[in-house]
Structure 1
């Protein structure tokens, strides 16, 4: 494993916190995950960095040596990034778009619209299941914008460092095989799916916990949840192996239907984030506008969502 700046930040965080538990909280990680990461770093450096005891952790001689170098390297890299941002701060024309996104149709729609509206500006993409990873890449100036989703009203990652703009908020729908007994219903009560296996895409937000809580309110605990990629989720639904959770904008797909969940127990917010002092901030309004247009186009192509919005509009009229 090659040593990276994030590893030095981890070592510094452990030293400052004085314990792995406190450092894990500060870093937004589970304590076992931080312990495993520390072991990998120690193997890469050739020895233990911290002695652990009842009072917490203390740096070993090797740990003190590494920390002394980290105290030089990390501020230097931070200064370099700040100077680079200042160097590019005077840019007023869009030179390119480095986009990060999770699964879903909006990233493709955004790429298409930016390529049309700025044909001379290259568009590159980076995909990750992790909203936190994408936010960190934007904070480190390795991406210009992150297009992510959050469950309900939950706070997006690194909200104290990045500026986030909500594009839209959608209900979460259920995917059913076209011949499923409930497929003909205009909406489906969650409790009617208590005996089903489920499939969903992975992520590091709170959606899994929110789904479990919604099921508990409906009187059951999911017996099985397959976390996998979108194509595999679709296949499992099509063959009747599971029912799936999806965004309301999920496009029409052969062999399955999407239906609202009665009472809208789950929701999903689409967000675009960028660094407020980064050079890409001058293009933020453009990206937000085009992302909103991509969402609207996706919503208009989803028949179940069109009906859902029409019914809500009629109810308010």
Structure 2
């Protein structure tokens, strides 16, 4: 079950729940579970033997439909991305460079989900991030090109918070705060807990998926949350770097080798880098961080 969940880009509890729903709909047990894994029951063997040709036919239908759509509508480019202020600039550059190309974009919180969509030919490229110390589940046949090797995570807090006036904030100064995490984000909560454990602290985590609610909780002083250094502060909040950069991520562009011409992949990477540099240069807190650190991430955006 664990390996199947990884291949499908799902959590194991989600897969178990889905399997139970299928068994309920069919009216019988499909697998027996044991310490050595799962085995199909006789009913499971029967369902699998009938399902495999249906799945194959469906995959062929989807592929044929997509090829027909490209033939009718012209060239198409399917992008995937995590949420980022660089996305708008990335799209703008692509549209300017490829005005005749139909471009779509799929935004996801989970980079693992984007990689799975890429592996199953539902995306052409994907902009993903990986928390340091928590590798993504990269499917076979998918490769990544590193955009930013180590991007720091900042913290968003109320502008009325006692630490808001500080240029850099220590984790210990926020140890008593409630920290908002998105339960659908890959390893966000685990990475935060590890950082606090290393500092000898024990954070209180609040699971919030809605960004509007999260922003209001931060502005009201009810909680704080980690954020990308390129993010803009919402009304009533400030964004500050964390001392020692205890939380970092790697940004990369993922693709299936051969799915796009190398020259086009190079161009997409350059478009994304240009867009990232642009938003980084406009962000006061991140620009100051880059200047203080000698611009290890983006030399072109660094010290004057």
TM-score range, shorter chain: 0.7 to 0.9
| Residues 128-156 of structure 1, C-alpha deviations (whole Å, 9 max, x = no match) | 22222211111111111111211125433
Pairing 1:1-317 to 2, within 5 Å after superposition: 20=1, 23=4, 30-52=11-33, 57-72=38-53, 95-152=75-132, 154-168=134-148, 169-279=150-260, 283-313=264-294
CA distance in 2, matches of 1:54, 1:227: 35
Deviation at residue 228 of structure 1 after TM alignment: 2.4
Residue 64 to residue 160, structure 1, CA distance change in 2 (3 Å): closer
Aligned to 1:5: none
Quote the Cα distance in structure 2 between the aligned partners of 1:187 and 1:273.
33
Deviations 1:183-233 (A, max 9, x none): 111100101101111123444422321110111122221123243233332
Q: Is the 8 A contact 1:162 1:273 kept in 2?
A: yes
Secondary structure at the aligned position of 2:153 is classed as strand
CA contact (8 A) 2:181 2:205 kept: no
What is the rounded CA distance, in whole Å, between the counterparts of 1:306 and 1:55 in structure 2?
Answer: 52
TM-score by length of 2: 0.83
Kept in 2: contact 1:201–1:230 (CA 8 A): no
* Distance (Å, rounded) in 2 between the aligned partners of 1:22 and 1:275: 21
8 Å CA contact 1:164, 1:271 repeated in 2: yes
Q: Which residue of 2 aligns with 1:7?
A: none
RMSD of aligned Cα (Å): 3.2
- How many residues of Structure 1 are paired with residues of Structure 2 in the alignment? 293
- Separation (CA, whole Å) in 2 of partners of 1:98 and 1:25: 23
Task: State the distance in 1 between where 2:254 and 2:132 align.
Answer: 17
Q: 1:313 is paired with a residue of what secondary structure?
A: coil
Does the aligned pair in 1 maintain the 2:152–2:249 contact within 8 Å?
A: yes
Please name the residue that 2:299 is paired with: none
Q: SS of the counterpart of 1:124?
A: strand
> How far, CA to CA, are the matches of 2:172 and 2:239 in structure 1?
17
Q: After the TM superposition, which parts of structure 1 deviate over 6 Å for at least 4 consecutive aligned residues? A: 75-85, 314-317
Please, what TM-score do these two structures have when normalized by structure 1?
A: 0.80
**Whole-Å Cα distance in 2 between the matches of residues 25 and 147 of structure 1?**
19
Q: CA deviation at 1:300?
A: 0.8
8 Å contact from structure 1 (residues 212, 221) kept in 2: yes
Of 76-85 and 125-134, more deviation after overlay is shown by 76-85
Q: Matches of 2:41 and 2:235 in 1, distance apart? A: 60
Unmatched segments (≥5 aa) in structure 1: 1-19
